C-alpha cells in the first residue's frame, strides 16, 4: 500500500466520523493550557472553566430547544445511549420491565438492550419496512402496560433512513412511556425540537458534526426518573461524575452551534452533490441497488449494493485510489451475516455482500464526485471479471 | 457495524494448527496479491474445474487446471470474496503451478497463509477456499481418469 499512496484523500465516510473543524480546534486549544482550571475548583481560572462549560451547555440546549440544565455531557453517543436506556430501565423497574426498540438501531442501543434482557427485562425489536422505516401502528400494537421505554433512532447510520420521530413521540407521550432517540447521525442534518417532537431523552456525539471525538451529550427532560450513570463527584449535577472533558465540551458546544446555523442550505448543497454521485453511479454501473428510502434519508447518505462484488474488496480498491468509504458486507463487519440493518430491510445476502456506504461532508467538492465517478466503474468491472458467479460483459 | 472487527468463524481443522496471524490489518504481500492477483481469470479448455463456496461468508472460488502427465501446467482462478480470499487463492495457485497433483493436493491453507506472511486471525477461514476448490478440481480430474477421488 505504501508503494502507491494516492496523492489526494477523498473522504466519503462522514457517518463514521468527521474531521474536527479548524475553528473548533481553535476554540478548544486554550482550554488545554491557559484555561485548564478544574470547573469544580473555586479560584478564578476555575470559574472561567465553569463559565465555559455553562456556555457550551447553553449552545447545545439552544439547538435542541430545551433548557441548559437538561443537557448532560458524556464521553460520546455510546455512553449517552447506555445511560438513557439502562438508567431509565433500572430506575423504573417497579413500573414495568418492557422496552421497545427497533431492529436497525446502532449497536450502542441494541447491545444495551440485549444486556438488559439478561437482567430480566423484555425487549421488543420492531421490524422496519423495505426502506428501513418503523410503522407507528406496529409500535402501538407492541405496547403493553409493562412498557417503560421506547428507543427509536432519529436517522439510521447505515442507510440514512429518517424515522417518523414526532409521531412516535406523540404515541409515547399519550401512553405515558419514556421516549429516547439516538440522534447521533441527525445533528446538523435535521431540525430538532425536543418539545415539538415529544422527545424525553436524546443522544448526540460531537465527532459526527465536526467536533472532537470522545465527547457527547444526553438530553434528559426535566422530571424523568433516571439513575446516575457514573458515580463519584458532583459533576453534571451529580448525575455523571468525573472531571469534565473541558476542551471536548467547549468543542462540542462550538461545533453544534456551527453545524446547525443553516441546516437547509447545508442539506441543499450536500444532497445535490449526493444525487449527482448516485445518479452517476447508477448510470455507469449496471446492477447497482440503492439501499434505504430514495427520499426519506439523510442528505449525505448513499448506501448501494453492487451485485457480483464484495464490499471489502470494493472498499480496499477505492482506498488505493484515495477514496474512503464503508461497507456492511459480512466478511468485514464482525457479524455472522451481513449488516443487521441490511438484513432488517431484506436485502438478499448476495446483494448485501456487495454493499458500500458513501457519506458526504462539507469538505467534499464537485471534483471529488467526478473523481469517484471516474475510479469506481473500472474497480467494479475488475472485481466482476474476477468473480466466478456473475457474467457481466463489461 | 461498519468497523473492521472481523468474525471468528466456527470452523474446523485449523484451530489446532499454528498460523502466522496479523492481528488486524492486511500486510503488503496480501495487498499485492489482492490488487494484482496471479493467475486470475477463466480457462475455457480446462482439464478440471473445482468450485467452492464458503459456508461461513458465502465467498466463492473457482479453480481451473490444465494437466499434463499428472503435472499442473497451467492454472487460473476466479473469486468472489474479500481481499483475504482473493490473495490466498492467488498465492495458492502460484504455489501449485508446475507441481504434480500429489504435491498440489498436499498444499495446506496453513502453508498458503504462511507464504502470505500471515492473515488477520479472523480471516484465516478465507484461505480454506483455495485449498477446497483445488481439491475439488483434482478430484474431478481423477474421476475423469477413472480413478477414485482422494
How many Cα neighbours within 13 Å face the side chain of A26?
A: 3
User: Structural domains in chain A?
Assistant: 2-19+262-386 (3.90.1150.10), 35-259 (3.40.640.10)
B126 is catalytic: yes
Find residue A324's DSSP bridge partners.
A11
Helix ranges (DSSP H) in chain A: 22-28, 44-64, 77-91, 107-118, 136-142, 165-174, 246-259, 263-284, 311-320, 340-344, 349-352, 366-386
Q: Which residue has the cell 459526527?
A: A208
What is the rounded CA–CA span in Å between residue B84 and residue B127?
Answer: 7
What is the rounded CA–CA span in Å between residue A117 and residue A198?
Answer: 26
A324 is catalytic: no
Question: What are the extents of the domains in chain B?
Answer: 27-144
Find residue A367's DSSP bridge partners.
none
How large is the average pLDDT for residues B95-117?
96
Q: What share of chain B in percent tops pLDDT 70? A: 85
Q: How confident is the model at residue B57 (pLDDT cuts 50, 70, 90)?
A: confident
**Are the Cβ atoms of A334 and B6 closer than 8 angstroms?**
yes
What is the rounded CA–CA span in Å between residue B36 and residue B143?
Answer: 33
Grid cell listed for A164? 417518523
Establish if B35 touches chain A: CB-CB under 8 angstroms: yes
Looking at the predicted structure, is the pLDDT value of residue B85 above 90?
A: yes
pLDDT for residue B7: 38
pLDDT for residue A390: 67
CATH fold of B27-144 reads Sufe protein. Chain: A (3.90.1010)
Q: What is the largest CA-CA distance in chain B?
A: 50
Nearest-CA distance B40 → chain A (Å): 7
- On chain B, the residues whose CB falls within 8 A of the CB of A291 are none
Give the range among A197-206, A312-321, B49-58, B129-138 with minimum mean pLDDT: B49-58
ipTM (interface predicted TM): 0.86
Flag whether the pTM goes above 0.90. Answer: yes
From the list A1, A357, A388, which residue is nearest B2 (CB)? Answer: A357
Reading phi first (left if > 0) and then psi (alpha if -120 to 50, else beta), residue A237 is in: left
Low-confidence ranges of chain A (pLDDT < 50): 1-2, 333-335, 393-394
**Are the Cβ atoms of A312 and B83 closer than 8 angstroms?**
yes
Angle at A138 between CA A135 and CA A139, to 5 degrees: 90
Q: Which of A184, A37, A50 has the alpha carbon at shortest distance from A109?
A: A184
Nearest-CA distance B53 → chain A (Å): 10
Establish if B23 touches chain A: CB-CB under 8 angstroms: no
Q: How far apart are the first and last CA of chain A?
A: 27
Establish if B83 touches chain A: CB-CB under 8 angstroms: yes
Q: For B76, which residue in chain A has the nearest alpha carbon?
A: A386
pLDDT for residue B10: 33
**Are the Cβ atoms of B61 and A340 closer than 8 angstroms?**
no
Looking at the predicted structure, is the pLDDT value of residue B145 above 60?
A: yes
Q: Which of A88, A87, A61 has the alpha carbon at shortest distance from A72?
A: A61
What is the rounded CA–CA span in Å between residue A168 and residue A191?
Answer: 16
Task: From the candidates A66, A113, A324, A331, give the one annotated as an active-site residue.
Answer: A331
Amino acid at each position: 500500500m505504501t508503494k502507491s499512496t494516492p496523492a489526494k484523500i477523498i473522504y466519503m465516510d462522514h457517518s463514521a466520523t468527521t474531521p474536527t473543524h479548524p475553528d473548533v480546534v481553535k476554540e478548544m486549544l486554550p482550554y488545554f493550557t491557559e484555561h485548564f482550571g478544574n470547573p469544580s475548583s473555586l479560584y478564578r481560572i476555575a470559574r472561567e472553566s465553569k463559565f465555559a462549560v455553562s456556555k457550551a451547555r447553553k449552545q447545545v440546549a439552544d439547538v435542541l430547544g430545551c433548557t441548559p440544565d437538561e443537557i448532560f455531557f458524556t464521553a460520546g453517543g455510546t455512553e449517552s445511549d447506555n445511560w438513557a436506556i439502562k438508567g431509565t430501565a433500572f430506575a423504573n423497574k417497579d413500573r414495568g420491565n418492557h422496552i421497545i426498540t427497533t431492529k436497525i438501531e446502532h449497536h450502542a442501543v441494541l447491545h444495551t438492550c440485549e444486556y438488559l434482557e439478561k437482567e430480566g427485562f423484555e425487549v421488543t425489536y420492531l421490524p422496519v419496512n423495505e426502506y428501513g422505516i418503523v410503522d407507528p401502528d406496529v409500535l402501538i400494537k407492541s405496547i403493553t402496560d409493562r412498557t417503560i421505554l421506547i428507543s427509536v433512532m432519529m436517522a439510521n447510520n447505515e442507510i440514512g433512513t429518517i424515522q417518523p420521530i414526532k409521531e412516535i413521540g406523540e404515541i409515547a407521550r399519550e401512553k405515558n412511556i419514556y421516549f429516547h432517540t439516538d440522534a447521533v447521525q441527525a445533528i446538523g442534518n435535521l431540525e430538532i425540537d425536543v418539545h415539538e417532537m415529544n422527545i424525553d431523552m436524546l443522544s448526540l456525539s460531537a465527532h459526527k458534526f465536526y467536533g472532537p471525538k470522545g465527547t457527547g451529550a444526553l438530553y434528559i427532560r426535566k422530571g424523568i426518573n433516571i439513575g446516575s450513570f457514573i458515580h463519584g463527584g458532583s459533576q453534571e449535577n451529580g448525575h455523571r461524575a468525573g472531571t469534565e472533558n473541558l476542551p471536548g465540551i467547549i468543542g462540542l458546544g462550538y461545533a453544534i452551534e456551527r453545524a446547525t446555523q443553516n441546516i437547509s442550505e447545508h442539506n441543499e448543497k450536500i444532497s445535490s452533490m449526493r444525487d449527482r454521485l448516485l445518479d452517476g453511479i447508477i448510470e455507469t454501473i449496471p446492477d447497482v441497488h440503492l439501499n434505504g428510502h430514495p427520499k426519506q434519508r439523510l442528505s449525505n447518505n448513499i448506501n448501494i449494493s453492487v451485485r457480483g462484488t464484495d464490499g471489502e474488496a470494493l472498499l480496499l480498491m477505492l482506498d488505493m485510489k484515495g477514496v474512503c468509504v464503508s461497507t456492511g458486507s459480512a466478511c468485514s463487519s464482525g457479524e455472522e451475516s451481513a449488516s443487521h440493518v441490511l438484513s432488517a430491510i431484506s436485502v438478499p445476502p448476495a446483494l448485501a455482500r456487495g454493499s458500500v456506504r458513501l457519506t458526504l461532508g462539507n469538505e467534499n467538492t464537485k471534483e471529488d464526485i467526478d473523481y469517484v465517478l471516474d475510479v469506481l466503474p473500472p474497480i467494479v468491472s475488475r472485481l466482476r471479471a474476477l468473480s466466478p458467479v456473475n457474467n457481466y460483459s463489461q | 457495524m461498519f468497523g473492521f472487527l472481523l468474525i471468528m468463524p466456527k470452523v474446523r481443522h485449523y484451530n489446532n494448527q499454528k498460523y502466522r496471524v496479523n492481528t488486524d490489518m492486511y500486510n503488503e504481500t496480501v495487498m499485492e496479491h489482492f490488487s494484482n492477483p496471479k493467475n486470475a481469470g477463466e480457462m475455457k479448455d480446462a482439464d478440471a474445474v473445482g468450485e467452492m463456496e464458503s459456508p461461513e461468508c458465502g465467498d466463492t472460488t473457482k479453480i481451473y487446471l490444465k494437466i499434463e502427465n499428472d503435472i499442473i501446467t497451467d492454472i487460473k482462478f476466479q473469486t468472489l470474496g474479500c481481499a483475504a480470499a482473493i490473495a490466498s487463492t492467488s498465492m495458492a495457485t502460484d504455489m501449485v503451478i508446475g507441481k504434480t497433483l500429489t504435491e498440489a493436493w498436499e498444499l495446506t491453507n496453513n502453508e498458503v497463509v504462511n507464504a502470505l506472511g500471515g492473515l488477520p486471525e479472523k480471516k484465516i477461514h478465507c484461505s480454506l477456499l483455495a485449498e477446497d476448490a483445488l481439491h475439488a478440481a483434482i478430484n474431478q480430474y481423477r474421476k475423469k481418469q477413472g480413478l477414485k477421488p482422494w
